[in-house]
Copies of this chain bind each other. A is one copy, B any other.
Amino acid sequence: MFELDIRSRTPIYEQLVEKFVELIVTGVLKADEQLPSVRTLATQVTINPNTIQKAYRELEVKGYIYSVKGKGSYVKASEFIQDDSKKVEALAKLDKAIKEALYLGVSPEELLLHIKKQIN
C-alpha cells in the first residue's frame, strides 16, 4: 500500500498519519471507505499493531477518520471537519509553502499556473 522509511527521523506512526491524510485529501480514500484493520495493516507493513493503532488514533483526533469498536475504522466525510481553526492552520501552512517556493526561485507566474493546475 505504501512504504515506510524505517531510517527516517520521522516516527513510523507519523509517517502513517501523513500518508493516510494524503490519500484522504486527494480522494484516493473516500468518505466512509473502510481502512485496513490495525492487525491487517500491521502484517502488511511489518510493524506492530500498537504502532498502527497510535497512527489511527491520531487520525481520529485530527478528525480524518472515525472508528467503531468491533467493526473498523472509516474515512470521515470532509463536511464533518468544518472546523475554522483547521482551515486557518491549513492556510498558514500554505503561506509558508508559497514563500518558500518563491524564495527558491519559482516565479509568481509559474506558481499561479501550477496552483491553477492543482485546483482543477
Interface residues on A, range: 35 or more
Contacts of A69 in B (CB 8 A): none
Select A101's contact among B87, B101, B112, beta carbons within 8 Å. B87
List 5 A-B pairs, Cβ < 8 Å.
A87-B106, A91-B106, A94-B94, A94-B114, A98-B115
A25 at the interface (CB under 8 A from B): yes
A105 and B119: CB pair below 8 A?
A: no
A103 at the interface (CB under 8 A from B): yes
Query: C-beta contact mask, A76-95 vs B, less than 8 Å → 1, else 0?
Result: 00110111001100110111
Contacts of A97 in B (CB 8 A): 90, 93-94, 96-97
Chain B residue nearest to A119 in the complex (CB): B108
Contacts of A24 in B (CB 8 A): 103
A98 and B119: CB pair below 8 A?
A: yes
Query: What 9 pairs across the A-B complex have the smallest Cβ distances?
Result: A25-B103, A90-B101, A94-B97, A25-B99, A97-B97, A108-B119, A93-B97, A98-B118, A25-B100
Select A91's contact among B78, B93, B114, beta carbons within 8 Å. B114
Least CB distance, A98 to chain B, in whole angstroms: 5
